[in-house]
Amino acid sequence: MKKYIIIFLFSIHYLYAQHADSKPISLENAIEICLKNNLSIQTQKLKISQQEALEGTAIDFAKTNLGTEIGQINSRAIDSKLMGSQAFRPKNYYRAQDALLKAKTAVERQGVDVVAYQIKAEIYPIFAELLFLQAQKALCLRYDTLYTQNLKVAETRIRLGESGILEKTMAETQRLQISHDILQTDAEILYWQEKLQYWLQTKDWFFPENQPVKMNFSFPTDSNYFQKHPALRALQQQIALTQQQIKAEEAELLPEFSIGLGMQSIRGYQNTSGKEYYAGALPQFAFVQAGISIPIYKKAINSRIESVKIQEKVIENEQLVQSKQIQYEYDLLTTQYKKAVQHIAYYEKVAIPQGEKLRKTAELSRQNGEIGYAEWSLTLNQVMAIQQEYLNAIRGYNQIVVALQSLLF
């Protein structure tokens, strides 16, 4: 039996020693590192830079048109013409394009907050579970010490002939069981450490710094707090974008102007201020050309405007639905939170003190010979079960806190 106990202890040591160089870290620092190293955040920032670069395209004039004509333009003589023209829109058109591009950049910026919110929603439960598992391991180690001491006592008693093999076998069984529990807890700790390392995107291993297993939480006092939720703000930014899209489409109804300058030749005798002279093939007569393009057929533009207006209403409805969903989940979690607090208060004020009193009484009774090993062992297991249930209650409380923090970003 000792051989199996040694194997269990060695396995535990080997498994846990794989990340014995783990460093303590706070929840705030874990989130900070994660946001710094996360590839999704970096990708979103690149999208912002990409969109900011596109803002320079707001004022985008059409290509300058250069042309020439050679032939019998004015008479049978061969003449030539050189022309250059430029088309442009009214100032309001370019303002609408600039506002639209800036609205798209704002959407991408809001995307960083959404990704950060999603990352935090992943980090919170990992941290909470590691806190619980560390507390659970501490509980197991405490009882492992008691069962180890008890096993030594049982071995001494059997050598002295004061007890039978049953007591020693029971002690060994309990020792093996608690060793198995430690082994399982260490395996769970490693699993959640790996998840934490994945989100931190670092080669270092971390575990929560020394802090109470019960996570702190305070409710917001601002009644409009949920309007700042990243998901709702992202939808609000989408609404602002559709409004700019409508203005940009309406700007397409504005006319387009063009202006040009040219020079041409008119070969032959010309009279200028009463003087005649011969004009050769070289272009020397200037002219100005102006034009305006008016959108007569507006159905396509109006249809696009109507489509964007409908899209705006769709996003507004999505925002309303999500806002009500967040409020509903918040109210539900608030009720669960109050129940969890009451549940933990029962253990802290009644069950845990009573269990500790029961353990001390059993220890004293066994020392005085009033109860045997079986009664003592049964009492100790009962006390440990109470403490484990207390940890489970804190675990459930932490899960509610994590869900609330996810809503409160």
User: 399 with 125: CB under 8 angstroms?
Assistant: yes
Q: Residue 19: its pLDDT value, please?
A: 56
Whether the pLDDT of residue 110 is over 50: the answer is yes
Work out the percent of the chain whose per-residue pLDDT is above 70.
91
Q: Residue 161: its pLDDT value, please?
A: 66
pLDDT tens for each residue of 186-195? 999 999 999 9
Work out whether strand 79-88 and strand 65-71 pair parallel, antiparallel, or are unpaired: antiparallel
Bridge partners (DSSP) listed for residue 208: 25
For the chain, the average pLDDT equals 86
Angle 39-54/27-37 helices, nearest 10 degrees?
Answer: 50
The mean pLDDT of 281-293, rounded to a whole number, is: 86
Q: Residue 160: its pLDDT value, please?
A: 65
The CATH architecture one would assign to domain 2-408 is: Up-down Bundle (1.20)
> Among residues 331, 333, 347, which one has the least CA distance to residue 394?
347
Report how far apart, in Å, the C-alpha atoms of 52 and of each of 35, 97, 189, 233, 243 are.
22, 13, 44, 20, 19
Q: Residue 261: its pLDDT value, please?
A: 93
Range of lowest pLDDT (260-264, 334-338, 371-375):
371-375
Q: How confident is the model at residue 17 (pLDDT cuts 50, 70, 90)?
A: very low
Distance, in Å, from the CA atom of 88 to the CA atom of 292, rounded to the nearest integer, reads 10
Work out whether strand 65-71 and strand 256-264 pair parallel, antiparallel, or are unpaired: unpaired
Whether the pLDDT of residue 3 is over 60: the answer is no
Q: Residue 158: its pLDDT value, please?
A: 66
Report how far apart, in Å, the C-alpha atoms of 375 and of each of 127, 154, 157, 167, 351 are.
39, 15, 17, 11, 20
User: 137 with 187: CB under 8 angstroms?
Assistant: no
CB atoms inside a 10 Å sphere around CB 242: 19
Structure-token match 């917001």, residue found: 220
Q: Residue 163: its pLDDT value, please?
A: 63
**Selected residue with higher pLDDT from 373 and 186:** 186
User: 215 with 52: CB under 8 angstroms?
Assistant: no
Q: How confident is the model at residue 23 (pLDDT cuts 50, 70, 90)?
A: confident
Whether the pLDDT of residue 322 is over 90: the answer is yes
The mean pLDDT of 261-274, rounded to a whole number, is: 80
Distance, in Å, from the CA atom of 306 to the CA atom of 304, rounded to the nearest integer, reads 5
Q: Residue 154: its pLDDT value, please?
A: 66
- Give DSSP secondary structure letters for 91-138: HHHHHHHHHHHHHHHHHHHHHHHHHHHHHHHHHHHHHHHHHHHHHHHH
Distance, in Å, from the CA atom of 4 to the CA atom of 1, rounded to the nearest integer, reads 5
Sequence ranges of the domains in the chain: 2-408
Q: Residue 20: its pLDDT value, please?
A: 57
Whether the pLDDT of residue 79 is over 90: the answer is no
Distance, in Å, from the CA atom of 400 to the CA atom of 403, rounded to the nearest integer, reads 5
The mean pLDDT of 13-26, rounded to a whole number, is: 63
> Among residues 350, 375, 348, 351, which one has the least CA distance to residue 364?
375
Q: Residue 126: its pLDDT value, please?
A: 93
Q: Residue 10: its pLDDT value, please?
A: 44
Q: Residue 1: its pLDDT value, please?
A: 43
Whether the pLDDT of residue 335 is over 60: the answer is yes
User: 33 with 208: CB under 8 angstroms?
Assistant: no
Per-residue DSSP letter, 369: T
The mean pLDDT of 28-36, rounded to a whole number, is: 90
Whether the pLDDT of residue 196 is over 50: the answer is yes
Q: Residue 137: its pLDDT value, please?
A: 93
Q: Residue 11: its pLDDT value, please?
A: 44
Distance, in Å, from the CA atom of 121 to the CA atom of 402, rounded to the nearest integer, reads 8
The mean pLDDT of 96-113, rounded to a whole number, is: 94
Range of lowest pLDDT (103-107, 133-137, 269-273, 348-352):
269-273
pLDDT tens for each residue of 237-251? 999 999 999 999 999
